[in-house]
Amino acid sequence: MMLVVCASLGLGAAAWAQPAAAPRPASNPAPALASGPDAAQPETAPVDKFAADPTAVLGFTMNNIEGEATELGEYSGKVVLMVNVASKCGLTPQYEALEAVYEKYRDRGLVVLGFPANNFKEQEPGTDSEILEYCRATYGVKFPMFSKISVLGDDQHPLYKKLSGAMAEQGGEPTWNFTKYLVDRTGHVVRRIDPRTTPDDASVIAEIEKLLAQPEPEQQEEVPA
């Protein structure tokens, strides 16, 4: 009777006997994700904490006045007084006070960093070697000096871009030679000082002593892998 029904439907015995096709496996199945503490974690880009912090200014590498690459991070843990200097300016005699303040407080953790710049009426025209010879011979400068840079304009050095931006509410960019910026022991700029205010002014000394009284930040030890 079953054959009769199949024949009447025009199928035939062979079609009736053909087994159903097995389901095809999915192509490129997604791998199972591991779970638990041993599971691989997604990769994330490292965070540049220095670049992300608008007041952190010791992440730059710069040439000192003798042409050697120097990481400003070497001065982490110190109080830093940064100054754009010039040899042919009415304020040039401030070199003497800068050196005196450096000598008085260096053992307590102060360092003065001089950055020659020719931005203001071209009052620093000399080469690095000429600048260094003049400072040492005329004012006995021993604090660290750096290669001549630009502190203003389209070619402003990134250090001074960051200093200017961080201190925008205190005047921002240098307005003349011997503009000063104070950096605390954690590497953050905290004060901009007017060019005409001398390094040994009572207000500057009070701020330096306040910053020196702060404890040095603890060095983070690397955890072995």
Would you please indicate which residues are annotated as catalytic (active-site) residues? 89
The pair of structure tokens assigned to 172 is: 């921002």
Report the 10 Å Cβ neighbour count for 94: 22
Name the one residue in this structure whose structure tokens are 């035939």: 12
Among candidate residues 188, 179, 180, the one with its CA nearest the CA of residue 77: 188
- Note whether 84 and 173 are within 8 A (CB): no
d(CA 32, CA 34) in angstroms, rounded, equals 6
Report the 10 Å Cβ neighbour count for 114: 24
- Note whether 127 and 97 are within 8 A (CB): no
Report the 10 Å Cβ neighbour count for 30: 6
- Note whether 88 and 124 are within 8 A (CB): yes
Tell me the three state secondary structure of residue 56.
Answer: strand
